[in-house]
């Protein structure tokens, strides 16, 4: 048989395999609903999308990019789901609340992070709750959840301490202040204090090496995860240097916790003083890498989402003096101006809780997460978590937030 005949047979076989794969995927998608509107690419392989995608991140224009992408390409009735062909792969992007609900709640077991996500984020997040799937995710979630449900008075003192420092920095006078920057520093100060028992105090010293490294690793990691197969061409020397700073900061705390015996850890759990989230992890596992990975992951959750919530909440409340007045009245009636709040106080202030929850629905989050379904449709929803309680003292600062 001639070489030409072999090439023809090979080509026909490849075409048949492609058609069968396409039809299977088409039927699976039709069974789930239908194809969303497709992005109109001007360059082959969706290279123009990748370029715009990456440039928006570099220029801090993520929110504008996604808004325009959905509104320009989605259907008019519900534009927040589109489909893009990138480097021969079909990827679905969604910010639709019903899709998010399915991915994160009602059909949670049908979705997972997937091996590619874990591979991309392994140097930074390792085997943490943000990269885990299946039983490991459930085990880690239960461990984290139990610790955050404990009503420890010492935890409130941590937030009280850092909130007072934050309030002193909010006195911008006529010049104003960048509240997003302050909230990011406030949340990482409180998070490191809560998780490790030692705050890095960026509110009083903005140029802390660990904080700068943490922010830079997040930024570069996000770029790498969006570059797909092109990530190998991105220089990683700066990324690795910052990652080393993070590890050198976290690892001594891990070693200190692991130096405690199980009996000593058990004794600390019964005390309200000196007990940290890291101690709980050390009681669960003696694996150094596991402890390091969970600490870094919870630092991200404690910093970014809470700072974003606080920023948007202040932004919305600045336009709603009537709501600010009612919030101040509830806080004054329940807590007053002289004492710190208790857990019972926080749980009883329904108007404050509803205000924070409503702000969640108004927030224009631009964070993205990737999820893989079994039929290999990739979905990147806008997601956000709100663990914040730190608005309380802001409304009690009468000189700075008096009702108009």
Which residues are registered as beta bridge partners of 371?
Answer: 379
Q: In this structure, is the dihedral angle defined by the CA atoms of residues 53, 56, 62 and 66, taken in order, positive or negative?
A: negative
Residues 94/381, Cβ–Cβ less than 8 Å: yes
Q: Among 181, 226, 220, 212, which Cα is nearest to 369's?
A: 226
Which residues are registered as beta bridge partners of 89?
Answer: 86
pLDDT of 150: 61
pLDDT over threshold 50, residue 19: yes
pLDDT over threshold 80, residue 195: yes
- What is the DSSP code (8-state) at residue 110? G
Average pLDDT over residues 312-324: 86
Cα–Cα distance, 166 to 136 (Å, whole number)? 37
How confident is the model over 162-184, as pLDDT tens digits?
998 998 888 766 777 888 889 99
Cα–Cα distance, 333 to 304 (Å, whole number)? 31
Cα–Cα distance, 134 to 355 (Å, whole number)? 34
Q: Among 184, 190, 181, which Cα is nearest to 162's?
A: 190
pLDDT of 362: 65
Planar angle of CA 241, 244, 250, nearest 5 degrees: 150
pLDDT over threshold 50, residue 401: no
Least confident of 28-32, 154-158, 307-311: 28-32
- Residue 120 CA: distances (Å) to CA of 115, 124, 143, 227, 246: 9, 9, 25, 10, 18
Residues 368/92, Cβ–Cβ less than 8 Å: no
How confident is the model over 66-98, as pLDDT tens digits?
888 888 998 888 888 888 888 777 788 888 888
pLDDT over threshold 70, residue 131: yes
Quote the pTM value.
0.75
Residues 324/331, Cβ–Cβ less than 8 Å: no
Confidence class of residue 402 from pLDDT cuts 50, 70 and 90?
very low
Cα–Cα distance, 227 to 94 (Å, whole number)? 19
pLDDT over threshold 50, residue 300: yes
Least confident of 71-85, 284-298, 312-326, 380-394: 380-394
Q: Among 5, 23, 24, which Cα is nearest to 13's?
A: 5
Give domain 125-396's CATH superfamily: Cytochrome P450 (1.10.630.10)
Confidence class of residue 202 from pLDDT cuts 50, 70 and 90?
very high
pLDDT of 361: 65
Domain boundaries, the chain: 15-115, 125-396
Mean pLDDT, the chain, whole residue set: 79
pLDDT of 151: 59
Cα–Cα distance, 301 to 363 (Å, whole number)? 17
Cα–Cα distance, 196 to 157 (Å, whole number)? 15
β-pairing verdict for 111-112 and 81-86: unpaired
How confident is the model over 370-386, as pLDDT tens digits?
555 433 333 333 322 22
């Amino acid at each position: 048989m001639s070489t030409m005949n072999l090439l023809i047979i090979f080509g026909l076989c490849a075409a048949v395999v492609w058609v069968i794969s396409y039809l299977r995927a088409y039927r699976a998608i039709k069974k789930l609903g239908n194809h969303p509107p497709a992005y109109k690419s001007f360059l082959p392989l969706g290279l123009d999308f990748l370029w715009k995608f990456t440039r928006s991140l570099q220029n801090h224009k993520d929110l504008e990019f996604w808004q325009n992408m959905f509104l320009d390409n989605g259907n008019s009735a519900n534009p927040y789901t589109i489909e893009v062909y990138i480097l021969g792969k079909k990827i679905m992007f969604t910010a639709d609340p019903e899709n998010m609900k399915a991915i994160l709640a009602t059909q949670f077991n049908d979705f997972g992070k997937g091996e590619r996500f874990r591979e991309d984020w392994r140097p930074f997040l390792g085997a943490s709750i943000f990269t885990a799937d299946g039983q490991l995710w459930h085990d880690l979630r239960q461990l984290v959840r139990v610790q955050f449900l404990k009503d420890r008075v010492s935890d409130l003192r941590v937030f009280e301490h850092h909130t007072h420092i934050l309030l002193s920095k909010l006195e911008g006078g006529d010049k104003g202040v960048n509240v997003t920057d302050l909230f990011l520093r406030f949340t990482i100060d409180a998070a490191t204090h809560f998780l490790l028992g030692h705050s890095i105090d960026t509110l009083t010293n903005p140029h802390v090496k660990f904080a700068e490294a943490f922010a830079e690793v997040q930024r570069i990691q996000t770029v790498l995860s969006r570059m797909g197969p092109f990530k190998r061409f991105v220089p990683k020397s700066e990324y690795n240097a910052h990652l080393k700073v993070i590890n050198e900061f976290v690892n001594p705390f891990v070693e200190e916790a692991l130096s405690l015996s199980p009996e000593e850890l058990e004794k600390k759990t019964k005390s309200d003083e000196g007990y940290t989230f890291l101690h709980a992890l050390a009681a669960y596992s003696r694996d150094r890498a596991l402890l390091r990975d969970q600490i870094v992951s919870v630092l991200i959750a404690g910093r970014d989402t809470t700072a974003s919530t606080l920023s948007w909440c202040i932004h919305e409340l600045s336009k709603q003096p009537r709501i600010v007045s009612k919030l101040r009245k509830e806080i004054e009636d329940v807590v007053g101006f002289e004492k710190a709040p208790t857990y019972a106080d926080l749980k009883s202030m329904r108007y404050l809780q509803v205000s924070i929850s409503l702000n969640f629905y108004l927030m224009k989050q631009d964070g993205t997460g990737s999820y893989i379904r079994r039929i290999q449709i990739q979905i990147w929803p806008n997601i956000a978590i709100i663990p914040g309680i730190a608005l309380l003292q802001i409304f009690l600062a009468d000189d700075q937030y008096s009702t108009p």
